Amino acid sequence: MLINRTRAAAITLMAMIFVQIPLTHSTASKSHINVYHILLLLMPMLYLPALRYLKFNPATAFLGVMVMTSLAAAATYGGGLRSTLIVFAATSYFLGVVFGRKLHDVELRKIFIWMLGCCIVFLVVRDAIYAGQLGAVYARSETASSILYMSTGGRNIEASLLALLSILLLGTRVYPIAAFIALMTSATMLSRAGLVGVAISIGIAAYRTRKTRFYYLYSFLAMAMVVLVVGMVLSSVIDIPVLDRFNLQAETNLEHKNVGRLALWTSAGSALKQNIFGYGVGNGVPLMEQISGITFVENNVHDIYLQFLLEGGIQSLLLFLVVAAHIVLSPAEGQQRNIKAFLVCYLMLAFIEFSGYEAYFWFFVGMFYARNDMRLTQLKLDAAERAKIRRNKFRKLPAPSPIQDPVHA
C-alpha cells in the first residue's frame, strides 16, 4: 500500500486515538490533553473542501443540538475545559467522514492491521519500561496511577479498546492475534467491559463463520452459559477475582462509600430532577458534586446514555437513540460491516463505560455515515443504469408485423 498524504494522515490519526499519548493533565477538570487532541484541531484544515461531504443526518443533528444546548446552559452553569469535548467529537466525526469517503475497503483493512501493530508496539515498550512493576500494571492495584496505559482512561479503557480493535480486524488473518491479546489483557486486568467486548467480538466472528445460520451463534451462547454457571459454582468454593468484578454486592458496597457507578447514577438522578433539559457538555459531574455534596474521582457517569441526558437534556438523548437505532438497523457491506459491529459493541458497552465523547467513537460514526451515503448513492446509480438498459431494450424491440386479413391472404 503506497503511503500518500491521505493514508498517512489516516494511519497517524487512528493510531493516536487508540494509543493515546498524553501531553498534560488538568486536575481541576480531571482531564488529559493528548496528542490526538492537537491532530483533531489541525488536521481538519487540510480537508476544508471536504465540508461538502457533510450531510444532515441523525449524527449531525445530535451534534448540533448538543452544541446549542451547551451554549444555552453556559449562561447559567458556566463551562470549563471539558466543555470543549463536543468540539473534538465534531472534528473527529468530520475526519471520519473524510477518510470514509477517500479510503477503499482494501486500504482500510491494511490501516486497521497497522493500528494493531502500533498497539502491540506500545504494549511491548510499556511492559519493558515497567518490567519490574508488571504486577501493578496488570493487577487491579491502586498504586498504578503513574503508569502509562494505552488509554488515558486507564486499564479498563485499554482492555475495551483492544476488544473493539479486534472487531475491526474481523475477517483478516491477524484477527486471532487481536482477539487473544484483548482476552488476555481483559482477564489479567479484571476488566468487565473488556471481557464483555471480547465475548461480543468472538461471538460475531463465530457467527460469520457459521456452518448453518445459527449453529455457531447458539454454540457460543451455550458455551458462555456453561462457563458462567461453572464459574459461579467454583466461586462459591474458591476465590475467583474476575468473577468478583461482576458481583453487584461489591458495587453496592462502593456506593455506601460514595464511589463507583451506583453512586454516580444515584447522584445523576438527583441532578436530573432539577433540570432535565441539560447542564451543558462537561458540566454533568461538577453539578452533581454541587447538588450532592460528594466529590467524585470520575469525570463522567460511566453510562453515555445517562451522560447525554444529564448534559444534553432529553432532546439530545432522543436524537442519540435515533443515531444508535440507525446504525443498528442500517445494512452494511465490506469494511462497513466491521465498522458497524465496532459501533454496536461500543453502544452495548456504553451502558457501563465511556463518556460518549470519545474520538474513536465519533470518528467511526463519521466513517459509517460516509460509507452509508456512498452505498446509497451507488444503489441509486445502479437503479438508474438498470432503468436505462430497460428503456434501451424497449426501444430496440422490432415493431410487431401487421395481422393479415385472411380474405386477402
CB 130 within 8 A of CB 149: no
pLDDT above 90: percentage of residues in the chain: 39
Given a cut of 70, whether residue 209 has pLDDT beyond it is yes
In a domain, 298, yes or no: yes
What is the C-alpha to C-alpha distance for residues 331 and 350, in angstroms, rounded to an integer? 22
335 lies in some domain: yes
CA angle centred on 188, ends 184 and 193, rounded to 5°: 80
> Which residues, including other chains, have CB under 8 Å from residue 244's CB and lie 6 or more apart?
235, 250
**Does 395 reside within a domain?**
no
Q: Give residue 150's pLDDT.
A: 87
Residue-wise pLDDT for 3-22, tens only, equals 578 888 889 999 999 998 88
Q: Is residue 402 part of a domain?
A: no
> Model confidence over 287-340: pLDDT tens digits?
998 888 888 888 889 899 999 999 999 999 999 999 999 999 998 888 999 999
Instruction: Answer yes or no: is 314 within a domain.
Output: yes
Cell of 17: 486515538
Mean pLDDT of 39-67: 92
Q: In the prediction, which pLDDT does 31 show?
A: 80
Does the residue 63 lie in any domain? yes
What is the C-alpha separation between 281 and 288, in angstroms, rounded?
13
Q: Is residue 188 part of a domain?
A: yes
Number of domains in the chain: 1
For residue 25, give the H/E element and its range: strand 22-26
How far is C-alpha 300 from the geometric centre of its chain's CA atoms?
A: 16
| pTM for the whole structure | 0.86
Q: Is the pLDDT of residue 214 over 80?
A: no
First to last CA, the chain: 74
Whether 11 is in a domain gets the answer yes
Confidence at residue 165, expressed as pLDDT on a 0 to 100 scale: 95
133 has a pLDDT exceeding 90: no
What is the domain extent for residue 102? 5-381
pLDDT in tens, 356-391: 999 999 999 999 999 998 888 888 888 888 888 878
